[in-house]
Structure 1
Amino acid sequence: MNDSVTPPAAITLAPNERPTLKTIAQMTGLGITTVSRALKDAPDIGADTKERVRLIADQIGYQPNRAGVRLRTGKTNVIALVLSIEEELMGFTSQMVFGISEVLAGTQYHLVVMPHSHSKDPMGPIRYILDTGSADGVIISRIEPKDERVRLLTDRKMPFSTHGRTDMNIVHPYHDFDNEAFAYEAVKKLVEKGRKRISILLPPKKLSFHDHARGGFERAIKDFGISEVPMDHVTIETNLEETRNHGEQLMRSATPPDGFISISGSSTIALIAGFEAAGKKLGVDFDMISKQSAEFLNWIRPEIYTINEDVREAGRELAKAVLASIAGNPPAQLQSLSKPVWSRAFPD
C-alpha cells in the first residue's frame, strides 16, 4: 500500500456537517482507502500514518456511519442491553451500564439500552432485535429457570450473555452473584449474634435467583436448627409502602423475627421503617443483613450488616462474555460467578 501523501487541504466543516473518511483524506493528503485501512489498523499501513489519521479523526470527532458499516460488513457494531424498568433503583442500572461501557470503550462496539416492562412481554425486545438485526450481541437480566429468551437467542444463533443462570439444558454465557452462598452466610452471621427466628425477603418465585437464595436459606435453617418467620406474599418487588406496612405488622405479631435478611437495599430501608414503627430497635430487638448494589446503607444505618454485589463488575463480565461469544468462543468458557463479600463497614 502506498502511504505517500500530497499536501493537506484546508478544510472547514459547516456547524452541523458530519466528518467523513473523505474529510480525513483531504486533511491528511491521503487516499480514502488508505484512511479507511489506517482506522482499521491494517498491517500494511505504517504506524506513523495510522497515528496521524487517528489523531485527525479524534480532533474532528469522526464516527463511522453505522448504516454504511452494516451494508459493508453485515454488522451493526451495537450491543443491546435489554433492561427491565423493574430493576432495583439503588445504583443497579447506572452501575451495570458503567461496567459494560468500560469494556466496550476499547472496541468498535456501542451500547444501546433498551428499557422495557418485564411484566408485559419479556420476549418482545428479543424478537425485535432478532427480526430487525439491530444488534450484534445482547445482554439480558431477570433470568428465569426456564427462560424462553435464552432458548430463542440460542436457536437464532445470536451472541448473548445473561445476568443470572438458567436451569435448562442450554449452556450459555452468564455472570451471576452467588445468592445461595449469600443467604447461607447471612443466616450463619445472625446465628452468631444469637438470633433464632429469621425472615428473608426474596425475589419473586419466577426468577432464578429466588431459587438460589431460597435454597441457601433453607439449608442454613436446617444446619443451624433455627426457625423461619415467613414473609408471606411480600418480595423485593413489592412497592416500598406496602413493604414498610408489612414490616410493621410482622413486628407486632405474636412471634416476630429477631433476625432479618434482605436481598434489596431499597426494600431494607422500607422494612426497617416498619420495624421501628412497631417500637423495635435495630441492633437490639433484631439484626438486619442486607445485600446492596451500591454502598449506602451503612452511611445511614451503620447497624446494618451488609454484603456488596458489585454490579459494575457484573457489567464488565457480561460485556466480556458477549464479545467473546461474538468472536466464537465456547459458551462453557464464558461463565462466571461472584462470591459474597462482607462490607468493611459492618459492626462487630
Structure 2
Amino acid sequence: MTPSETLPKPKKSRDRIVSPGAVTKADEVSASAGSGQARPTLKTIAFMTGLGVTTVSKALKDAPDISDATKKRIRLVADQVGYRPNRAGVRLRTGKTNVISLILNTEEEILGLSSQMIGGISDALAGTSYHLVVTPYSFKSDPMAPVRYVVETGSADGVILSRIEPDDQRVQYLRDHKMPFVTHGQTDMGITHAFHDYDNTAFARDAVEKLHKLGRKRLALLGPPSRLTYAQHMRAGFLEAINKYDLHEVPLSNVTIESGIEQIAASICEFVSGPQAPDGLICGSGSAGIAAAIGLEQAGLELRREIDVISKQSSFDMLKWFRPGLHVISEDFREAGQDLTKKLLALLDGKDPATLQTLAYGGADRS
C-alpha cells in the first residue's frame, strides 16, 4: 500500500451487526444513488470504501501510485453505485468533454453503418474515458447542421463522419474550426485528414473478374448515389475491369443502393425482363443484394443459372443464409468503426493525420 492509500482508523460502526430490515448510512447512499434522488459522487465512493476522496479520484484516473487491488476495489464500488464523472466538472477542469460524436444519417442502410459500425466504435472506446454520442440527421435536413451544432456547442472532443463527398464542406468546416475528425471515406479537395475507407475500386474490379470467369458478358452495376466519393471509386473499378476483359455494360440508372428494397426489387424485375437484360449484376451493399435477389425471383430467374449476382455484404454472413446462390465480397463495418475510433483517439493525442489513413480490403470471397 502506498502512502496516498493510507486508510482511516476503522469506525466501530462499519462492521456492526444490524437487525433485519435496518437501513445503514451506506444503504441510504446506495439507495439514493440508484433512485435518482442523488447522483453518486467521489464522496459516495470514499464513504463506502473508507478511503479518502483524493485516493478515490486518483484510482479512477488509474494513477500509478495507487495499487491495483485498491483500484479494483474502488472501480467495483463505482460500478455498483452507478458512478459517472460529472461531464460539466470534467470540462471545467480539463477543457474536454470526453465525448466522441458520430454524425449519422438516420436512414443509413441497416446492413451497413448503423449497427456494425457503432458496435466497432463502442469496442474501441471500452476502457477509455470517452463516450459515444450519436448526432443524427435525415436525408431531408442540412448535413451541415449537426456538424455546426457539435462545434458551436463544444459538445464533443472529436467527430466521426460518414457519407463522404469528393468536395465535402463538412470536412472544410471542421478543419477551419480545428475540430479533430476522421472520415469513413475519402475526399478529393486537397485537405490531408485521417480516414478509414474500403477499397471500392478493388471490390468492383474483383467482382467483374469473378463474373468474367463465370462466363458472363453483359454486366450491370447497382451502386451508391453518384455524389458520394465511394460511388466514383466503385464505378472506376467496374469500368476498368469490363474494358480489360472486353465485356459490355448494361446501364442501370433509375435506382441506387439507397432506393429502398421494394423500389430496387421492382426495378430489377423490370430490368431483367427486358430485351437488354444483363447476365451479371454487381450490388454495392447487402440490402441491395437482398432486393436484387427478390426482383430476380419475381422475374422468374434463378441465381447461378440465368444470371450471377455478386453483392457486397457487411461483417456477418446474412446473405449466404438468405440466398446461397448469391456471391459475396465482404466489407467489415465493425472493424471500420474500431479503426476510425483508434485514429480519432490518436488525433486527440496529437498524431499527424497524414499517418492515420487506411484503405482496407480483404479480397473477394471464394464462393
The TM-score bracket by the shorter chain reads over 0.9
Aligned residue among 13, 17, 21 for 2:42: 21
RMSD across aligned C-alpha pairs, in angstroms?
Answer: 1.6
Partner residue, 1:314: 336
Kindly provide the CA deviation profile for residues 176-204 of structure 1, in whole angstroms up to 9, marking residues without a partner as x. 11100000000000000110000000100
Aligned residue among 60, 79, 86 for 2:100: 79
Aligned residue among 202, 216, 222 for 1:201: 222
Shift of 1:48: 4.2
1:42 has 2:63 as partner = yes
Deviates more, 1:16-25 or 1:43-52: 43-52
Between the aligned partners of 1:262 and 1:315, the Cα distance in structure 2 is 22
Ranges of 4+ aligned residues in structure 1 off by more than 6 Å: none
Between the aligned partners of 1:48 and 1:223, the Cα distance in structure 2 is 64
Shift of 1:46: 4.1
Residue pair 1:175, 1:314 contacting (<8 A) in 2 also:
yes
Partner residue, 1:158: 179
Aligned residue among 120, 125, 141 for 1:104: 125
Question: SS state of the match for residue 217, structure 1?
Answer: helix
1:326 has 2:348 as partner = yes
Question: SS state of the match for residue 235, structure 1?
Answer: coil
Shift of 1:267: 1.6
Question: SS state of the match for residue 26, structure 2?
Answer: coil
Shift of 1:341: 3.2
Residue pair 1:177, 1:340 contacting (<8 A) in 2 also:
no
Question: SS state of the match for residue 328, structure 2?
Answer: strand
Between the aligned partners of 2:170 and 2:140, the Cα distance in structure 1 is 14
Partner residue, 2:155: 134
Kindly provide the CA deviation profile for residues 181-232 of structure 1, in whole angstroms up to 9, marking residues without a partner as x. 0000000000001100000001001100001000000100110101100002
Distance 1:51-1:276 versus aligned 2 partners, 3 A rule: closer
Between the aligned partners of 2:183 and 2:112, the Cα distance in structure 1 is 19
- Equivalent positions of 1:1-348 (< 5 A) are 2-6=4-8, 7=10, 11-12=26-27, 13=29, 14=32, 15-16=35-36, 17-90=38-111, 92-293=113-314, 294-343=316-365, 346=367
Kindly provide the CA deviation profile for residues 55-75 of structure 1, in whole angstroms up to 9, marking residues without a partner as x. 322332221111111111111
Aligned residues: 345
Residue pair 2:183, 2:195 contacting (<8 A) in 1 also:
yes
Between the aligned partners of 1:3 and 1:193, the Cα distance in structure 2 is 70
Question: SS state of the match for residue 342, structure 1?
Answer: coil
Residue pair 1:195, 1:258 contacting (<8 A) in 2 also:
yes
Percentage of pairs with the same residue? 54
Shift of 1:302: 0.8
Shift of 1:41: 2.0
Question: SS state of the match for residue 219, structure 2?
Answer: strand
Residue pair 1:146, 1:166 contacting (<8 A) in 2 also:
yes
Q: Output the amino acid matched with 2:327.
A: Y
**Larger Rg computed on CA atoms:** 2
Distance 1:47-1:89 versus aligned 2 partners, 3 A rule: closer
Between the aligned partners of 2:167 and 2:298, the Cα distance in structure 1 is 40
Shift of 1:31: 2.2
Distance 1:252-1:133 versus aligned 2 partners, 3 A rule: same
Residue pair 1:178, 1:340 contacting (<8 A) in 2 also:
no
Residue pair 1:182, 1:340 contacting (<8 A) in 2 also:
no
Shift of 1:142: 0.3
Shift of 1:340: 3.8
Between the aligned partners of 1:241 and 1:55, the Cα distance in structure 2 is 50
Between the aligned partners of 2:139 and 2:335, the Cα distance in structure 1 is 24
Residue pair 1:5, 1:28 contacting (<8 A) in 2 also:
no
Between the aligned partners of 1:157 and 1:61, the Cα distance in structure 2 is 34
Residue pair 2:204, 2:234 contacting (<8 A) in 1 also:
yes
